Amino acid sequence: MNYTQRLIQREAELGRPIRVGVVGAGQMGSGLIAQIERAKGMEVAVVADIAVERGVDAYTRAGRTDVQVENDLAVVAEHIEARRPVVINDGLLIPKLPVDVVLEVSGVTEIAAQVAYASLLGKKDVALMTVEADVTVGLFLASIANAGEQVYTICRGDEPVEALKLVEHATDLGLTVVAAGKGKNNPNRPTDVPEDVMEEAKAKNMNPRILCEFTDGTKTQIEMASLSNATGFPVNKPGMHGPAADIATLATTLIPVEDGGVLTSTPAVEYTVEGDVAPGVFVVVKSEDDVVTHELDYLKLGKGPYYALYRPYHLASVEAILSISEAVLERRADFQTITWRTEVASKAKFDLAAGTKLEGMGGHHVHGWAVDADEARANNSIPIGLISGGILKRDIKAGEIVSYDDVELDETRPLIAMRRLQDSLVAAGVIGV
């Protein structure tokens, strides 16, 4: 029985659909709201956005009418019970409401982490779309969920999750995974700043800082670090290789050096540029059995012993509802950080002067750079998810990795407190082992 059939059955038994609380009604959030409203057996019970008009508009475009704007929690709860669409202005209030799942799609690391934490403490399942938060404090959040009865998951549709599904598929087939990753969708220009992508951002109706996070490479570094921490596969070298490759050459490029590829150790997480791999995800596998190799050759998967398993798309907000179903029906996460194998450090785009108030991802000062977590700890490297708002204590050269010693942070920020606790628990061997 598929998810839809089971959701219909669940609604018939309980007399109501899954109630989803959505935090964030921007471009991605609006698409998610429309998709959930089309699904059988679930509905958007409440939307939270600091610009309530965005929430109202998202509901309206999804076909819901008579949208209420309210912040009195008792009244909001009444609207939810009566199945009236309602918009509030504070996502941290959603865990206090009668919803089953909190779907976080703010796109802001600090907000996403706080919403996830509050939701888990409020005994709500959490489906996260902001992978930047997971790659900063995901191990901590997953440990809270797994110690109780809640589900914490990154949503289907994003490249790390779909690459993980290919890893699971390959492993179930008894194949040895050599590499896993994605094709990079956009240019790789590490020194891009928002002004460099302003016109393209306007044409795409995007925030230029979000687009800059893609073009300066930070997003890819974050996504592959997330995949690393969900699989335990390390990066081969700082920043990864990122070779040019086509679908047809994946299985000859992302293989060990001694066999003609670029990898110095396996398995590894990687990404490719140019070619026709994007917007897809892949795993490169090795057949360790001559009979299986012969069969895979006969089935035209390629010429062994290395093969590429390839998915030519990822459907972002369209597929996210699968993770809601998985969480509620199976009580299982589609994607979680299980170890801290890779860190996304902060690498200076230009020479930076002491006293600079640092911008975070997609800004003017640093871009993300995936490094081995042990190396990051040894160098006291500050994760890019924490650096926003920090004040530089010394001059930094272009290309230099920024350390905690270099930055004065606001230690009262909840995100920093969560990360400090995560680091302590990892060091003590309590989580991530």
* Residue 27: predicted pLDDT: 87
> What is the H or E stretch that residue 195 is in?
none
pLDDT of residue 185: 87
The structural domains of the chain, with segments of one domain joined by +, span 3-154, 159-314, 343-427
Cα(155)–Cα(317) distance, integer angstroms: 9
What sections of 299-342 are H helices per DSSP? 316-319, 321-325
Under DSSP, is residue 102 helix (H, G, I), strand (E, B) or coil? strand
pLDDT at 246 (0 to 100): 97
Q: What is the C-alpha separation between 304 and 18, in angstroms, rounded?
A: 46
Tokens of 218: 């930070």
Q: Could you write out the DSSP letters of every residue in 61-88?
A: HTT--S-EE---HHHHHHHHHTT--EEE
What integer pLDDT is reported at residue 357 of this predicted model? 98
Write down the CATH number for the domain with range 343-427.
3.90.1210.10
Measure the CA–CA gap between 87 and 112, rounded to whole angstroms. 18
Q: What pLDDT score does 433 carry?
A: 76
Give pLDDT, residue 279: 96
Return all residues near 199 (Cβ < 8 A) that are at least 6 apart. Answer: none
**Both structure tokens of 294:** 């012969």
Q: In which residue are the tokens 């059995």 written? A: 289
- Successive 10-residue mean pLDDT values, the chain, 433 residues: 95 97 94 96 98 97 95 97 97 97 96 97 97 98 96 97 98 98 93 96 88 96 98 98 97 98 98 96 98 97 97 94 97 97 98 98 98 97 97 98 98 97 96 87
Query: 3-154 belongs to which homologous superfamily?
Result: NAD(P)-binding Rossmann-like Domain (3.40.50.720)
- Exposure string for 52-81, b = 16+ CB within 10 A, e = fewer: bebbbbbbeebebeebbebeeeeebbebbe
